[in-house]
Amino acid sequence: MNAGGRTASTRPEPGQSAHDGHARLADTLRERLTALAPSIVEIRDDSAQHVGHAGAAGGAGHFSVTIVSEHFLGMPRLARHRAVLECVGDLIPYPVHALAIEAYAPNEPVPTKG
């Protein structure tokens, strides 16, 4: 258990595929980020793009998160990232090996992915 009282998963369960584990992990990330009261939260599993990477070899995931929250109003980018990491930081470096964060306030344009 970490300082925040959360228990981070350490290894996939027997018979669990990496995809199943990463899908559950994405759900965990989404659940944790509700603490920031987001109006939008998108989580993308980028793990397939990192097959063979040392961090991915042990089954750890690579994720990207886009989050929009009033919590970020007036906050600089670094403070927004810290707020996100406060919610999910105990999952790094395992089971999350890498987390790309895009955090916006509602009054800011969110780039579209295409």
Q: Where are the domains of the chain?
A: 37-104
The yes/no answer on whether domain 37-104 falls in CATH 3.40.50.2300 is no
Report the pLDDT value the prediction gives residue 58, as an integer from 0 to 100. 67
Report the pLDDT value the prediction gives residue 2, as an integer from 0 to 100. 40
| Interval 56-81 mean pLDDT | 91
Q: How confident is the model at residue 104 (pLDDT cuts 50, 70, 90)?
A: very high
pTM: predicted TM-score of the whole model, two decimal places: 0.78
Whether 4 has a pLDDT exceeding 90, the answer reads no
Q: 6 versus 91: which is more confidently predicted?
A: 91
Which two three-digit tokens encode residue 4?
A: 């925040």
Whether 85 has a pLDDT exceeding 50, the answer reads yes
Q: 49 versus 56: which is more confidently predicted?
A: 49
